[in-house]
Amino acid sequence: MCTALNLAVLLLRVVTSNPDPSTRSRPSIIPTPPHLPPLPVTRLRKLRPVPSAQWAERCGAVTSWPCNRRQRGESRARGAAGPSACPAPGTTSTSTMPFDFRRFDIYRKVPKDLTQPTYTGAIISVCCCLFILFLFLSELTGFIATEIVNELYVDDPDKDSGGKIEVSLNISLPNLHCELVGLDIQDEMGRHEVGHIDNSMKIPLNNGDGCRFEGHFSINKVPGNFHVSTHSATAQPQNPDMTHVIHKLSFGDKLQVQNVHGAFNALEGADKLSSNPLASHDYILKIVPTVYEDMSGKQRYSYQYTVANKEYVAYSHTGRIIPAIWFRYDLSPITVKYTERRQPLYRFITSICAIIGGTFTVAGILDSCIFTASEAWKKIQLGKMQ
C-alpha cells in the first residue's frame, strides 16, 4: 500500500512540474451548448506533497498494527480502537504496565471443569479428614493437660531446713500398754533421746490392753535410727508383745499429686500382727530427697524412701534382749525433682501443621497411585495398552 501511494505522489510531481504547453492554449473539446457560456480551461490541481518522514511514520504505524495481545487488551479496556491505540515503532507506550502482585501466587487455582471427581478420591478425602480430626483432638488434649517431668541431680534441695527432716509416725501396738510405749532417737552426730514425748500422743486400744502411738519429730540429715520400745518405762515387762500395724511413716511435707506415684509412705498398712510376739522388727530405710515444682514455680520439699525389713529374736550372754521396732535410716545423695510443664504454643502449632500437611500429602500420593492404576487398567481392558 505504501508503494502505491509513493508512485502516485511521484506521478503527480511529474505532471505538476512539466505541464504540457498545448493544454494551455488548446480550446476545450467539449461542445458548449449555445445557451451556456463556454467552460474555462482549468489546470490540474496541484497536490500538496507529503514529506516522506510522515509517510514512513504512517506506514510504520499501519504495518505495526495490531500490537501485541496485551496492548490490544489494554486498548479495548480504555475504549481505544484501531492502530491509534498502539505505540509507533521505536517508541514506548505513554502508559506503563502496573505491577501485578498475583505473579507471586504459587497456589494457582484450577477451574473445576478441568478436574475429575472419583469415588476413590471421595473415600480417601473423608478418611483423611477423620484422621486429621482425631490427631488434632489428641494434640489439643496434650496441649491443655500438664505433664510431669522428672530429673535427678546431686544436691541438698532444702538448704533452709537447718539440716533437719520432719518425721510423722503413726503405729498401733494392740498388745502393749500405753505406759510402756516410748520413742527413742539416736544418730551419728551423738544425739540420743530416750522416751521422746514432744508432739506425741498415745491412744489406748482394746480397753487399755493396746496402744496407738502418734508422733511428729525431727531428725538430723545423717544416718541414724528411731525405735519404738519399752526402754523408757520405769519397770520393764517380762515378755513385751511388739506385734504392730504401721498406719503412716512419712518424711518432710505432705505431697499428694495425682500424676506423681512415689514411695512417700511406703510402710503404710504394714501388718505384723501374726509375727512372733517376742521378735524385734528391723526396718532399713533409704531416704531420697524429692522436690516438686508446680506451674507457678512454687517448690515443695518431701522425701521418698525405700524399705527392707527383717524380724529376729535377739539374745545376749545375759539372756534374751528386750524386743523393739527399729527404723534405721540413711539419706541418698541423689535428689529427685518433679516439674509441672505444659506444651508450648509453638510446638502445638508445629505439630498441627505437620499432621495436616503430612496427612494430605500421603493421601494425595495414595489417591494418585490408585487413579493411575485404574486408568491403566481401563486402557488394558480396551486394548489400548500392550
Domain spans, the chain = 124-147+344-386, 155-342
Q: Which of 61-75, 109-123, 166-180, 203-217 has the weakest average pLDDT?
A: 61-75
308 pLDDT above the threshold of 90: yes
Per residue in 223-278, pLDDT tens? 999 999 888 887 778 888 889 999 999 998 887 777 777 788 889 988 888 888 88
* Residue scoring higher pLDDT (87 or 185): 185
Q: Which three cell numbers stand for residue 20?
A: 504540457
Tell me, what amino acid is at 379? Answer: K
> For residue 146, what pLDDT is reported?
85
Per residue in 42-54, pLDDT tens? 444 555 555 555 5
The one-character DSSP state at 333 is: S
Band (pLDDT 50/70/90 cuts) for residue 62 is very low
Evaluate whether 199 touches 217 at the Cβ level (below 8 Å): yes
**296-319 mean pLDDT:** 86
Kindly tell me the burial class for residue 187, based on how many C-beta atoms sit within 10 Å of its own C-beta (0-12, 13-18, 19 or more).
middle
User: Residue 228's beta-bridge partner residues?
Assistant: 183, 325
Q: Which three cell numbers stand for residue 190?
A: 551423738
Residues of the chain with pLDDT > 90, as a percent, come to 27
Phi, psi (degrees; rounded to nearest 5) at 83: -75, -10
**97-112 mean pLDDT:** 81
d(CA 19, CA 21): 6
- Rounded to a whole number of angstroms, the CA Rg of the chain reads 55
Reported as type and span, the H/E element at residue 330 is strand 325-331
Band (pLDDT 50/70/90 cuts) for residue 134 is very high
Evaluate whether 152 touches 336 at the Cβ level (below 8 Å): yes
164 pLDDT above the threshold of 60: yes
d(CA 66, CA 75): 11
Reported as type and span, the H/E element at residue 16 is helix 2-17
Q: Which of 265-274, 311-320, 360-369 has the weakest average pLDDT?
A: 311-320
Evaluate whether 337 touches 150 at the Cβ level (below 8 Å): yes
* Residue scoring higher pLDDT (96 or 274): 274
> For residue 97, what pLDDT is reported?
66
What is the helix, strand, coil percentage profile of the chain, to 5? 30, 30, 40
Q: Which three cell numbers stand for residue 186?
A: 539416736
27 pLDDT above the threshold of 50: no
Band (pLDDT 50/70/90 cuts) for residue 96 is low
What DSSP string runs through 348-362? HHHHHHHHHHHHHHH
Closest among 277, 276, 275, 279 to 326, alpha carbons compared: 279
Alpha carbon distance, N-terminus to C-terminus of the chain = 59
**328-348 mean pLDDT:** 90
> For residue 209, what pLDDT is reported?
87
Closest among 227, 226, 225, 238 to 176, alpha carbons compared: 238
> For residue 257, what pLDDT is reported?
73
Evaluate whether 367 touches 375 at the Cβ level (below 8 Å): no
d(CA 322, CA 241): 10
Band (pLDDT 50/70/90 cuts) for residue 112 is confident
> For residue 351, what pLDDT is reported?
93
Closest among 43, 6, 8, 48 to 28, alpha carbons compared: 43
Closest among 198, 208, 196, 201 to 170, alpha carbons compared: 201
* Residue scoring higher pLDDT (332 or 43): 332
**335-346 mean pLDDT:** 89
Question: Count of H helices and E strands in the chain?
Answer: 6, 15
